Structure formats: structure tokens, C-alpha cells
Chains A and B, each alone.
Chain A
Amino acid sequence: MASSGHGSGRQEAADRRLRLIAGHLHPRIAASECKAEAAESDPVRAKTVPKRRQEVMKWNGWGYSDSRFLFNKKGQAEFTGRRYRLGGLIFPSLKDWFESTFGANLQHKSPPTAALNSSAITPPNLNEPFLQDLKSMGIPHSLEAEDRVFRAHGHCLHEIFALREGRFGRLPDMVVWPNCHDDVVKIVELACQHNACLIPYGGGTSVSSALECPPDEMRSIVSLDTSQMNHILWIDEKNLTAHVEAGIVGQELERLLNESGFCTGHEPDSMEFSTLGGWVATRASGMKKNIYGNIEDLVVHIKMVTPRGVVEKSCQVPRMSTGPDIHHFIMGSEGTLGVVTEVTLKIRPLPEYQKYGSVVFPNFEQGVACLREVAKQRCAPASIRLMDNAQFQFGHALKPQVSSIFTSFLDGLKKFYITKFKGFDTHRLCVATLLFEGDREKVLQHEKQVYDIAAKFGGLAAGEDNGQRGYMLTFVIAYLRDLGMDYYVIGESFETSVPWDRVLDLCRNVKERITRECKERGVQFPPMSTCRVTQTYDAGACVYFYFAFNYRGLADPVHVYEQVEHAAREEILANGGSLSHHHGAPKPMSDTCETTNQIAAYIQSHGLLRPRFLHLVVHDGVVDAKATEDDERLCRKRR
């Protein structure tokens, strides 16, 4: 009785959880569709990402083919498709915001080349013996142009911009789809044997150019697509761990765990498409890390196939003290050391209750002070984010058309209260969005504590809706970028990790630097440069920047963009920030990431995995030469 009661409670929780996830992901169809599929297949079988991803997803933009922003005939922005809650909605104020922020105009379009022209693509440079052996093993593969193009890029601006213009650089020469860890071992061995180059490919959401094929690579490049390795192999309820194949996509992992009443709680903004292996390889961070931790806190065990064999620990324990932790050099290696195939993760029972919230502050300074206090008292909710004024305006422009006069009346009243009664300046105020999770009672208690702190810094509670819309922005921002690119607006995001005392200075200086650099480089219209504090830690915070501008009149917009971004990163470093908090090291600045490179050099001495940093590595010829000799000996022995 008790157990069944408990079970049904859990079932209920799972359902609620599903609805919530669906709330910001796939509200209408996803849930029912998945359920239907789940019923007819293996219970821990994920909905497979198709091998031919281009059938569901854009080949030259973000996300699903059927989901995109566009300006309709009436000049109103709308979001197509039925996958998201936003599908079919009208955003009346987006156009005005878009035109006034960027100086853009709906008359001036910059559409992408319509279709992928396969004939423009160089034929693959095949490694015949490798191909033959692969075929004999029965591992699926493809040489098709569309498949190769899809896996030749991540989502950096320059990559997408080139695709939209129909320009392709060096492509992988073939794509392979291993089905399990053993397949990967075989593929890596074959590559070793036949001197082929491997690039692991997970969700393809990389923003650090890690998927770019080196143009001067003479060997055959094989893209190793992990999408078919997407099973939860087991769940250990006693230890609260789950052993999962690395190719599983974030949303599927959550959905499947939810069905069993669990979750990982790891929700990076890209979780719809990014994979577990990718998270490990890039040191990902999820929005609810305050409760669940970042990927390095979540991982218990990693299995990685390297050119010199499989790397894994012999036990699945919470902590060990036997030299440096091997996990810490796998995490963040971005596919340069090996292919992550299986991961054991911590899991948690699904939270009983979830609640959004938001707080309005009179200015950004007060908001940061509040977040700092929250971090100090260690009472941060699952997520707490502070958007600056520009981003608040941005979020505001994404308010869907309201259906009833009553809602619009209420909105007006709220605005009146905040600006007139409380005296907030609409051009200075900023909003913190909150997400609470846990037991219902505790959540309510927690909520009160946070709102009390906020009140000390002049913050006013501003409702659940504002909070929820704030989180929505992060899921649709990449779709919005595609919309911008249709109208001469390009942009991207970058992020940093910074000590508390420097947060304000860094935000101000970086934004100003961006504005100034754009002006100096001939950008005709003032850029949008806005930031939010997205994570809080004891010793600092993660700050996330959006930067976009109208490039009409520029000969080489991507180059200008890259120069400005480089300057912005330089400014970040000068102000005490790091190059990255979770995106991974941006390629042009990777010279600052020396330590991992040197380890990488040792492991890569076979040159099998794409040597992303190799040109920067060798500083001390003697040591390296020696290391290589030792390697040779080792290799001979092994053979």
C-alpha cells in the first residue's frame, strides 16, 4: 500500500516533471508522441536521432526545420511549427525592437542560398583499406555529400554564415555510426591501422570551432557520429547513478530518466540537441547547477577510447585520492584525446515541485549586489539569472500577443506600479529570473528567503510569467539569430567566469569595448551588446554576453565580427575574467590553454585524432622528442 502510494506519487511527480520540461521544450506534441513511441519499444530506448539528421533539422541554421522565426506578410514576427509552445504565436513588438535596436529594415533581406548544391562539394578523399575493413565489420557509414556537410561544422557564426552563402571548407570524407562502445574501439583501431583521422561528432552544437576540419589535413577524415549510441544501459537506484551511452541527446536522457522517476538535473541551454559525450568533452554547465552541479560534479565514471586503448577507472566511487583525477583531463579535451563512449552519472529523484519567479531591480548594480548576497548566504535557487536592461528589453520584445484585454490591462498596471509608483527608470531597471525546485514547502520557504534578500537591494517580485519568459529566451535565441541573419544582422554569444568584485566592471567595460570597436571598424549602426549573470558561485559568477550588429555596408562582416569578439575577449581577460566558463576555448585564443595542450601532445603523438592544438604545443623539443621515443617503444611492445 505504502509502496504503491509512493510509486504513484513518484509517477505523478514524473508526469508533472514531464509537463514542466515539455513546457519549455516540446509542449504540445513531444510528450504524447514520445509516450506512444516509448510504449512500443524498449523502456530505456531513446528516440533515436535519425542518421540523416537533415531530414528533421536545418542544414544551415539552428534546430528543427519546421521551427523558425519569420516576419509574416503583415510584418509581424511569428514562430512556425508546433514543437514549441511558441509555435504559431505572434510577437507584435519584436519588429519594432528589431528595427530600432539594429537599425535593420524588413525591406533589406539577406536570405541564405536556398538548397544544398551537392555538385559544389568536393568528392570524398577515401581511405580504401579503412573503408573495406569497416564494411566487413558491418558498421554503418555514409559518403553522401549532405551527411558530410552536416557534420563539417558547429554553430559558430563564421560556420553558419559560410553555409548560408553556400560555401564549404574541408568536409569530413565519410561518416560512421557506431552502435556501441565496441564499435568505437574497432573504428579507432582501424583508423590507427590505416592512418585515418577521426573527429567525434555528438550533437553538433559546438561553438568553439572544434568540429572544423583542418583544411590542410591530407589524410581521410572520418566523422564519428555517436547518435546511435543512445541507451541508458542501467540505472542503479541504490547508489543513484545511471550508466548511459555518450551519444544520448540531453532531452532524451531527461525524458527517459523522468519515466523512471529520476533526473540528472543537467540542463545546458543546448540540451535539446547536445549529447552527454559532448558535455563531458566540453566541460558543460547546466542552468540548474546550483542544485545538481556542473558536469564535473555529476560524472562518476567515464569510458573513453583513445588511440592507445580505453581509458577508464576501475571503480565507480564518489572520490578518490590516487594522483590527479583522470576525468579532469578528459573533460574539456573537446575530442582531441579520444571518443567518450559511456558515462556513469549521478541521478536524483524528480523534484516534487518547481516554481519560476522574477525580481525587478532598479539597476544592474543593485541586482549584482543581490546575487552576490544570495551566493554568500548559499541560498541560490536552482537557477538565478540577472539580465541587464538591454536584455530585459529584448525579453520584453518577445512577449506574445495577449489574448485578453484583462491581461493587457494587468500588464499596464504592473508597468505603472513599477515605473511610476516605485520610481524605477525603464532604461535602467533589470530583471532577475528564478527557478526553484524541491519539496513544495521547502521551495516556498526558499522563495521567501530569496525575495527577502532581494528586497534589501530594492528588488520587487515581478511574477512567474516574467521568469518563465526569461528562460524561454535562452532556448529560442539561436532561432532568433537565424532570423537576424535573414536581415543583415549577425551575432553570437560568449561567456566568462569572473570573481564577484569584478563583475560590474567587467560587464561595463566589455559592453563599451564592443560598442567602440564596432564603431572603429565601420559598423554603421550601434551594436547590441548585452549581458546577464547566469550562474553564481561562492567566489564569482558566470557572465553571458550577447553581441549582434547590423552589417549592411560591410565588405567582410564575419571578419569584423571576429575582430570585435577578439577585442571583447581581450577586454574580458584584462578585467580578470576567464576565456570561457562552459563554451570551451575559442579557437583563435586557444594559445592561452597551454597545459592541456602539452598533455594532448603526448597522447596524440600518433596524430590520429584531429590535432587541434598541435601547432601550438611543442615548446621544448627535447622533452617532446624523448616522450615520442618512449611512445614508440611502448607501441612496439604492445604489438
Chain B
Amino acid sequence: MASRTLYSQRDPALKKRDDFEDILEERRNSSDLKYALKCYMPVLYKGVTPCKPSMIKTMVLQSEQLRYVVTELSKETGEATEVIQGEALAILEEMAHKLHLGTVRFFAYMLNKAFKVLYQRIRVNEDGIQRLQQAIQEHPLVLLPSHRSYMDFLIVSYLLYTNDLALPVIAAGMDFLGMKFVGEMLRMSGAFFIRRSFGGDRLYWAVFSEYVKTILRNGYAPIEFFLEGTRSRTCKSLTPKVGLLSIAMEPFFKGEVFDVSMVPISISYERVLEEALYARELLGVPKPKESTSGLLKARRILSEDYGNIHVYFGQPVSLRSLAQGRINRSQYNLMPRHISRRPGEDVQVFVNDVAYKMVRLQEESMVLRPWVLVATILLQNPHGVEAVWLAEQTAWLRGLAQAFGAFLDWPDHISASRAVASGLALHPNLVCTERGRVRLATEPKGPGARAPEEDLFNHAVTVLSCASYRNQVLHVFLRPALLAMAMDVAPTSRKDDVYSCFGYLRDVFSNEFILCPGAEVQDFDEACFLLTKCSAIQILKQDIVATERGRPTLSFLSAMFQPFLLGYQVVCRYLCEEVAESLPEKSYVAGVRSYAVKRILSGELACLEVLSSDLQKNVLAALLRMGALRKSKAGELVTLRVNKSAINTIENTLGGRVSTQKPVLARL
């Protein structure tokens, strides 16, 4: 129901957006030192007096909430309350931030230096900053930036410092603490650290949630965290995690604050610092452990050009107005508020809906550079295209993307060929131009024969890096493309059939893309609306049919999402053909990968994106959700039990075949 209101049916192309201003320009013309030492006097929430980090710790330790849990645990385990209180203190010491203005100034100084070298421009919507300034004073604030780079940690604080706004307290993963010195530096610039998993640890949960709530309730600082939970290696938004969000909402539900403002922040990078790293990681080279020396080695990157960063501070969203009519807050009246309990069904659904809404708001305000369009086209033409054709095609795609409401940073006076050229120039490692033809770069065949796997691996790095740019634009085309694919696989063109196929695809891909739960109808309507608007389809009384003019559009859209469709099918094939009945969860990714490599080398499969572990994990989650796989635990070992017939059905439906038919397309 509520997702009905998540976005309007209005034409997305008419969306009003703020203008950007480059903040680096001013920095380039003035002293960094002066900037770092500037007078910093932020306004706070309703004029609260700033509170020392140590005060917050004391408040948390003395809170009723924590004392209650400590007493309970002491009763259960028989340990003295002092001991447990001590443990709580230790957790808090490990967790709490130590915001220190000096460190912030140091960071500001260093970042200034780095930004000026790395980036051409850092563009921010000034109106968003203005709104933020207003919002900070009115209600406790939650900042929700997108997360695609380590840079995200620093950039929001940097911008707020620059604009004399209250610095946020940022939730960070514990792994940062592994980095000597830097972890503590981050802590002093406002980060607090949480363990990646602490499911059963009640004490940890109590300390953590009370810490967050204390900061929020009193409005000492905006709370910043990443809904996606981790950096997206694919530049696609990740399914939101709701734990921290639901903690942040609780003070409102319990009436401890009047409202909470949530501000989605979209940070888009023209070129992500970790680009190549991500691709390797996705291919199975494990992520390097965060270390200071690693960071120093990364200095090399300082010599390259990373283009522009766009930061868009969205409209603050009032939690109160979202909850109006959906959450009956009286349910919290029948128990003392310091006793935490599992939120009710309605609250869980609500939190989840809000999380999706916020991620969609982030997506919508992601700035897209022409290069992402170029990457999209190149990926569909792996063997290269004529530069002229590429420019034409890019111009066409630009029109389509704008009609679908994409936030393109492509000024009107810049011609397609210039835009394409500048994109190509910024990514010499991914594309090369030879004799008027543009194609994805492959490493020159070096002396000495290399294993074909190694070649494949190198090529895959390029493809996945390129895909990470295409992925940035996927959310714009997702719904129409699902409709296009549904029209491909549906047995007839009847509306019902198309809709049920649409619903099915939507369901299958709901771990892959941001698709708000329960919003099938709206998504379908939106897709129909957009495709009708660009006259790609016609909606008749009973049927949905493609128009002659629209065929190229539809096939382009299908092709854009083809890698995912294929990827899901390959995994299903693997589970049907190579797995007997069950397999250990640990060997799943490796198994799929080696299966896919075999297929690719044998020429049966051309799609390299199947090798992405992100995709493989999403398929796993989808299959588990749909009941085609089942987890069973025996001690440490988690096994996946395969329901072959269910998997077969999924694979066949994705291929657009009724299950009894002899698979034709299955030979990928």
C-alpha cells in the first residue's frame, strides 16, 4: 500500500532538480591552511550545547536501557553486574567516536590537497546544503549517503565542514580498525565502529542501539550511515540493510523526539578510485585487508585523473509524515520504553519500505555522465563499433534516458562526439580506439603464451569495470526493461500474461536491483507509462504490443539486462548439471565460477559478467528466497540442498519456455 506513494506517476523527465556548484574552484584559489584553520561554529539542533564524546559514553552507560539489559544478563548468567557493566564499557570503548576538531582540520587540509590533484571538480547542490542547514536545527538528522567508495566516508564530512554545518557521526565497519593509525584518525573525525555481525549478542546490541539513540535523541550530531551496509562493488545500489535504520527510527516511534529527518545523499563518481580493485575482487581475488601500508601504496592513484564528483543532498524526508497512518505508535505505550522488544510486523514492513524508498531516492539523484551511456553501448557490442556510430547511438540513448528521467550531466551545447571523446579519454584503461573503431581494451598479448584462463581473467576485469559504469544507469531503465523482457518471454501478448511474466521477473531480480517490495502494480504502470510515452509499445484493450518504431528500443533494453538473465540461467544450469543433491555453501561461488569459465572457454557462453561473484551471490539469495535452495546447518558446515525441479522451472521460465519443452536456448 505505502509503496504506492513512494514515487509519483508524474513524468519523471519533468523532475525538478537543483543546480550544482563546484566547490573545488574556491579551494584552488585560496590557502589550504587558512581553510583548515577557518572558524568553525556550526549551528546545532535546537541550540543544544555541544557534548563531549566522553559525556555520551557516560550517558549510554547510565541509561536505563543498558542497565536493564545488564541486570537481565546478570540474572541469566549468574555473573556480577559489575562484570557485565565492564564488558559494556569495553564494547563502548571499542565503538565510540572521539570527534576531535583538530583531526577534522587535519583531514580537511589533507583532503583539500588530494581532491585538487585527483578530481577536476567536486560539484554540490548548494540548495541541498541550505535545506540541510535548516533541517539540522529543526529535528534530529539522519544522513544516508550512497556507498560506492571509501571516499564516501570523508566526502560528506568534508562538505559539511566546508559549509560550517554540524559534523556527522558515522557508522563504520570494524575492519577499519585493522588499519593502524588511520582507524583512530577516522574515529577522531567522527566515525564509530560496529562489528559486522553480532546477531546473538544482546549486550552488544544494547550498547550499540543505545549509543546511536542517545546521539539522535539529544541531537548532538547528525547520524550518518550507509543503508547499503557495504560499498557497492558494482556501482549498482545494494538491497538496503534495515538494522541501523530501525534503531534510528525508534526514538520517534516511542515519542522521544518529535520527528526525524532523513536526508538521502547521492554521491556519484565519474571514475571510482577502487575501480580495478572492485573488478578483481568480484572475480575472486580477495579484497586486500585494510592496512596503512596498502593505503600508502595507493598513492600511485594520485597521479591519475578521476574526473568529477557530484554530491546531491536530497530533500529531507520527514519520518513522521511517512509514518502517518501507517504506524500506530500507541503500541509502545503498554511497556516501559527502556525495555526493547522485537518490533511488530507493521513496523518491520514500514522500516523496510522506508529503506527502499531512501535507496531509490539516492538512485534518482545519481548524476550520470555521458560515459555511462557509452559504456552501456560498448558492452552490447564487445567487438567494437565505429566511432561515428557510437556517437549517434549515444545521442539516441541520451534522449531515451532523459525521457525516462535520468539525471544526466550533459549540457546541451556539448555534442555527442565530444561527450563520447571526453569519456573515452578519461578511461584509457578500459577502451581503446583503433582506426576509427572503439572497443573494449584487452591487454596486448605479451611475449610467451599465457594460460587462456589468465587472458579470460584480464578481459573479464575490463568487462566488469565497464559494466560498473553501465550499472549506474540501470535503475533508469530497469522497469521498462523488465517489461520488454516480459514481453519477450510471455507466451502471448495478453496483458495478464505480460503482467504475470513481469511480476515473475521482478520477483527473481529483486535481490539484484532495488525493487520495492509490494510495488508490482506501480512498477508495471510506470513501465507501461514510460514505454508508451516513447511510443515503443501500444496498450490495447487486452494486449500490450510492440510498435514497429519501438522494436529497436525494446531490444536494446532487453539486451542491456541480458547479462543478468544469462547469469541467472547459468547458475541454474550449474546447479542442475553439476550438483548432485547438495553442496557446501562455501564451495558455491568457486563451483559456479569454474563451471562458467569452462563454458566460456569452450565457446558456449560469451557473457563474462557471469563471473561476477556479486551476481552469483544475488542468484543464491534469490533461489533461497524462492525456495529452490534450502540451507541446512550441521555444526559449522552450511549445506545448500538443491530442489532440482524448482530450479529447472526457474531456468526455463527465464528462458521463456514452458518447462516440458526441449530447451533450445539453454545451450548458452
Contact = CB atoms under 8 A, between A and B. Distances in A.
Interface of A: 501-502, 505-506, 508-509, 512-513, 573-576
A513 B336 contact: no
Given A574-B329, A574-B330, A512 B258 contact: yes
Contacts of B336: 501
B337 interface: yes
B63 to A, nearest CB: 13
24 contacts: A501-B336, A501-B337, A502-B255, A502-B337, A505-B254, A505-B255, A505-B256, A506-B255, A508-B258, A509-B255, A509-B258, A512-B258, A513-B258, A573-B330, A574-B255, A574-B328, A574-B329, A574-B330, A575-B255, A575-B329, A576-B255, A576-B330, A576-B332, A576-B333
Contacts of B332: 576
Interface string B249-260: 000001110100
Interface residues of B, number: 11
Contacts of B256: 505
Interface in B334-348: 336-337
B146 to A, nearest CB: 30
Interface in B237-290: 254-256, 258
B406 to A, nearest CB: 33
A513 B332 CA distance: 19
Contacts of A506: 255
A533 B300 CA distance: 66
Given A513-B258, A576-B333, 12 more contacts: A501-B336, A501-B337, A502-B255, A502-B337, A505-B256, A509-B258, A512-B258, A574-B255, A574-B329, A575-B255, A575-B329, A576-B332
Nearest to B139: A512
Chain A interface mostly: helix
Contacts of B254: 505
Interface in B158-216: none
A576 B328 CA distance: 11
A509 B336 CA distance: 18
B252 to A, nearest CB: 10
A576 B253 CA distance: 11
Contacts of A575: 255, 329
A405 B254 CA distance: 52
Give the interface centre of A502, A512, A574, A575 by most chain B CB atoms within 10 Å.
A574
Contacts of A501: 336-337
Contacts of B329: 574-575
Contacts of A509: 255, 258
A574 B254 CA distance: 8
A575 B329 CA distance: 7
Interface string B295-330: 000000000000000000000000000000000111
Nearest to A502: B255
Nearest to A505: B255
Nearest to B254: A505
Interface string B89-112: 000000000000000000000000
Nearest to B338: A501
Nearest to B337: A501
Contacts of A573: 330
A416 to B, nearest CB: 25
A574 B327 CA distance: 10
B67 to A, nearest CB: 14
Nearest to A504: B256
B487 to A, nearest CB: 44
Nearest to B255: A575
A585 B373 CA distance: 63
Contacts of B330: 573-574, 576
A506 B256 CA distance: 8
A512 B256 CA distance: 13
Nearest to B331: A574
Nearest to B332: A576
B335 to A, nearest CB: 10
A501 B339 CA distance: 13
Contacts of A508: 258
Contacts of A513: 258
Please list the 6 inter-chain residue pairs (A to B) with the smallest Cβ-Cβ separation, ordered nearest first.
A574-B329, A575-B255, A576-B333, A505-B255, A512-B258, A509-B258
Nearest to A574: B329
B326 to A, nearest CB: 12
B336 to A, nearest CB: 7
Nearest to A509: B258
Nearest to A573: B330
Contacts of A502: 255, 337
B328 to A, nearest CB: 8
A513 B255 CA distance: 12
A508 B333 CA distance: 17
A574 B320 CA distance: 12
A146 to B, nearest CB: 45
A505 B257 CA distance: 7
Nearest to A506: B255
A573 B333 CA distance: 9
A362 to B, nearest CB: 14
A502 B254 CA distance: 9
B97 to A, nearest CB: 26
A499 B255 CA distance: 13
Contacts of B333: 576
Nearest to B217: A505
Contacts of B328: 574
Contacts of B255: 502, 505-506, 509, 574-576
Contacts of A505: 254-256
Nearest to B323: A574
A520 to B, nearest CB: 10
A506 B332 CA distance: 13
A213 B460 CA distance: 81
A512 B259 CA distance: 10
A574 B258 CA distance: 11
A513 B336 CA distance: 23
B334 to A, nearest CB: 9
A501 B332 CA distance: 13
A573 B332 CA distance: 11
Nearest to A498: B333
A509 B260 CA distance: 12
A355 to B, nearest CB: 37
A512 B140 CA distance: 14
A508 B329 CA distance: 16
Give the interface centre of B258, B332, B336 by most chain A CB atoms within 10 Å.
B258
Contacts of A576: 255, 330, 332-333
Contacts of B258: 508-509, 512-513
Nearest to B64: A501
A148 B226 CA distance: 67
A576 B329 CA distance: 9
A573 B337 CA distance: 15
B538 to A, nearest CB: 43
Interface in B478-519: none
Nearest to B333: A576
B54 to A, nearest CB: 22
A122 to B, nearest CB: 41
A505 B332 CA distance: 13
A308 to B, nearest CB: 36
Nearest to B251: A505
A575 B257 CA distance: 10
A566 to B, nearest CB: 13
A575 B252 CA distance: 10
A576 B330 CA distance: 6
A508 B257 CA distance: 9
A569 to B, nearest CB: 12
A576 B333 CA distance: 5
Contacts of B337: 501-502
Nearest to A511: B258
A395 B601 CA distance: 87
A505 B218 CA distance: 12
A574 B337 CA distance: 13
A547 B371 CA distance: 58
B472 to A, nearest CB: 38
Nearest to A577: B333
